[in-house]
Amino acid sequence: MWLTVLDVGGTHVRWARWSPDQGLGEVRRVPSPSLSRCADASVAELRASLVSTMADPVPHGAVASVSFGAALDHRTGTVYASAPLWGAHDEPFDLLAALEECRPDVRWHVVNDVTAALLHLTSTPAARGLRKVLLATISTGIACRTIDQRVGRIPVDGCGLQGEIGHLPAHVAIDDVPVELGCDCGRPDHVASFSSGPGIRRLSEVLRERRAGRWAASSLGSMLARGEAFEASLTQAVARGDQTATELLEVATKPMADVVRTALCLDPEIDLVAFTGGVAVGLGEHYRASMLTHLTREGLYLTSEREPDWVRERVVVSRTSGLIGAGLAALAAEPA
């Protein structure tokens, strides 16, 4: 059985054919119609454009499954908000109904992108035999999902949500002076304000202003001054051991380390904490090392001292596929 699978994020809409036997076909992508890309468009226009962009590549009569980067009701497919796509706008949008209206010949399925990535992760040997798995995506936005594999269930709250950690309050300081940054949702000082891709870029500007001399002399500062891309420059500078880049990463990962510490404290049945998304995967083991620096310096009471490997062995960076996860979600929902 072939499905059309789509992955919608704040930067790109990607799609491909997928089957459980043949795997993933050629992946194609176009830019997402987002507020940052189309500043003069209304949210209604952006949503209409997005639905058309998603519907166009799907063949007639196909089954299509969407991994969608937004806070959405896991039960109904209603999107509550997507800061990377629509900024602070939070009027609910029945995405599933809009897709069905646009292409009634297609059988549509919609899941959150982190849910899709988690479904892919739990289908791999890395998650086999584990009780609970937590997956956090660190990209244009930030969110996580936890699944209890013993019952095969991702629990949700009264709004059909779980793991919207990107919009939890966070505190960050540089040189013991607090940093205040806005979040794409319109509110200040959230986890995503500092730890998302755009958040790390904003943090770098604060670091540049506060430490102008050290910044200019750093490998990261030099690459950016030459006009090189921020993400690639940060990864290269961290890999070279550049102190400024390493400190920037350490500041940026602190809010996420705070979340992980709390999650493991409250639920010791979490056997795996995996990080995915462009930021985490791009930085790879450097991202994991930065997280573990925080979790070693300020870890779990008693556990981190008596059993330091208990935390260390649980934290990984994992390359996941929202496209494959969307396909798995559709297979589970389709009639046998």
CATH architecture of 3-112+321-333: 2-Layer Sandwich (3.30)
Q: How confident is the model at residue 184 (pLDDT cuts 50, 70, 90)?
A: confident
**Domain 164-268+278-317: which CATH class?**
alpha beta
More confident residue, 48 or 89: 48
Q: Is 257 helix (H, G, I), strand (E, B) or coil?
A: helix
Q: What is the pLDDT of residues 85-103, one digit of tens each?
A: 998 888 899 999 999 999 9
More confident residue, 77 or 125: 125
Give the Cα separation of 210 and 331 in Å (integer).
Answer: 52
Instruction: For residue 77, give the nearest of 53, 57, 101, 96 by alpha carbon.
Output: 96
CATH 3.30.420.40 residue ranges for the chain: 3-112+321-333, 164-268+278-317
pLDDT at position 336 over 90:
no
Give the Cα separation of 189 and 172 in Å (integer).
Answer: 8
Tokens of 285: 């083991």
Tokens of 133: 């798995």
The pTM score is 0.92
